[in-house]
Amino acid sequence: MVRDGDAAGAILHTRGAPLLLITDLSLPGRDGLALIRDLRQLSSPDETAVLVLSAFPELRAIAARMTTSLGIAHVADERVSRDALGRIVRRALDNVTAPPTQEARCLGLGDLFQTLRHQIMQILPVPIVTLSIDTGSQRWFTAHVLHAMEPGDATVSHQSSLLRQVTEARQPFVVQDTRTIPIAGVSSVIPSDVRGVVLIPLLTSLGQSMGVLSLLDVKPLAAGIQQVDRMVEVGRSFADELERRQQVQLNVTRSDEQVTLEHLVLVDSLTGLYNRRAGEQAIVREAARVRRTGSQISVVLLGLDNFQLINDMHGHEAGDRALREVARILRSSFRQSDLAVRWGGDEFLVVLPDVSLAGAAVFAERARQQLEALLVTDTSRVTVSAAVSTLGAGESPAAAISRAEASLNRARAAGRNRAQGVHRV
């Protein structure tokens, strides 16, 4: 692309780091070592592979001594054959993850993809996994390839008509062997030596399309219906998390006035947790996902014991401080996918997706113990009573919460400072 080190450095600082840098050390202007050092200020060895090619043994020896400190993947003679260079490049790129765009970095798509790939490989191990994201506001593509493609082969891209068809049909596309069932258009969007193809639409629990997950193999696949169903469910969890992160990022880009208005509508000003309105919306979304997937969702309802007594004896400032501390402890106790809500004056609701009744009971007891150690004043402690409930199949969220409220009342009547659970029968 360029013939001197200064021009290469200018490209780095205007266009960003590439996936691959192939350079000599002997360059007009900035030398190769300075160029690599500049690159490493922008990109790690995991994001950009560096190959040093030189016709001079002395320069190759210098580069070889600096492979670790500068993250140089390979040093070779400049006269290396085309086939050998191809093999060197492929090996170097095997250890590189594409540097994400700024928006993708904010959304954490790289980490999300690695988690998604790990989950998918537990279901159906394949040598090629690609992810195509197209949410309207952003387009993003990445791939994990363990198999060396033939020279000149195409790769799946988010522009392919086949992926658009999967998105529009909202159904998985499965071809066990493209040689026995030739599908029009497949050969134009995947490498020619790929035979097994599984494309999974990434749909949120509410049906919004977020992209397509592709699994490719160089031999025929044997993907059963249970494996496909499990991949669809993993894809839905990924899409839900992506949608959530995108919404958070959207809030960041809005004007301060817009963010303030949404904050007032959905967030409790005292505790910083979601308010009841936002909590009701969230649990309705989770209930829709439960109906689609057959998974489970549990709720934990916590109420401060004798909260009015705290206000009466120590003042409303002490009561407010107790509520804020409860919110802080709850936030530190749950996973990223969980949701804590200021449900009422002295009550908090925690929504736990994909958690059983037993798991919810463990959470409730842990939270109760942590809160039991909380001091309102130098001599007065806070205790809470808690109740857990699991949303049954076909049941409304209101019914599960109603059971939790009844159970919470029983816990308080039985002496307070205890957790009690019920399950739909």
Amino acid present at 190: I
Calculate the CA 219 to chain-centre distance: 30
> In this predicted structure, what is the pLDDT of residue 128?
85
User: How many other C-beta atoms are found inside a 10 Å radius of the C-beta of residue 183?
Assistant: 11
| Pairing verdict, β 20-23 and 49-54 | parallel
User: How many other C-beta atoms are found inside a 10 Å radius of the C-beta of residue 301?
Assistant: 26
What are the two backbone dihedrals, phi and then psi, of residue 192, each rounded to the nearest 5 degrees? Answer: -65, -20
H-type helices in 305-347, by residue range?
307-314, 316-333
Task: Count the alpha carbons within 13 Å of 191 in the hemisphere toward its beta carbon.
Answer: 23
Mind listing the domains of the chain with CATH numbers? 5-94 (3.40.50.2300), 102-249 (3.30.450.40), 260-421 (3.30.70.270)
Task: Count the alpha carbons within 13 Å of 168 in the hemisphere toward its beta carbon.
Answer: 6
What are the two backbone dihedrals, phi and then psi, of residue 236, each rounded to the nearest 5 degrees? Answer: -70, -40
**CA separation for the pair 261, 268 (Å, rounded):** 12
Handedness of CA 165, 171, 177, 183 (dihedral sign): negative
**CA separation for the pair 127, 316 (Å, rounded):** 61
β-pair partners for 180: none
- pTM passes above 0.85: no
C-alpha distances (whole Å) from 59 to each of 54, 77, 125, 272, 298 are 7, 10, 42, 59, 64
Closest to 62 (Cα-Cα) out of 75, 47, 48: 75
> In this predicted structure, what is the pLDDT of residue 76?
94
- DSSP E strands in 218-314: the ranges are 297-304
> In this predicted structure, what is the pLDDT of residue 209?
84
Residues 352, 295 contacting (CB under 8 angstroms) = no
What are the two backbone dihedrals, phi and then psi, of residue 14, each rounded to the nearest 5 degrees? Answer: -105, -35
β-pair partners for 202: 211
pLDDT tens, 315-324?
888 888 888 8
Radius of gyration of the chain (CA): 28
β-pair partners for 253: none
> In this predicted structure, what is the pLDDT of residue 21?
93
Handedness of CA 238, 242, 248, 249 (dihedral sign): positive
Angle of helix 307-314 relative to helix 316-333, nearest 10 degrees? 140
Predicted confidence pLDDT, tens digits, the chain (425 residues): 677 888 888 877 766 778 899 999 998 888 999 999 988 888 888 888 999 999 999 999 999 999 999 999 999 999 999 889 989 998 888 877 655 444 444 455 666 777 888 888 889 988 888 888 876 655 666 766 664 444 333 344 444 677 778 888 888 999 888 888 776 544 444 556 788 889 999 988 767 788 899 898 888 988 888 899 889 988 988 888 887 777 665 555 445 555 444 445 577 878 888 888 888 888 887 787 777 667 788 899 999 888 888 888 888 888 888 888 888 888 776 665 678 889 988 899 998 888 888 888 888 888 888 888 776 666 667 888 999 998 877 778 888 888 889 888 888 888 888 876 644 43
> In this predicted structure, what is the pLDDT of residue 1?
65
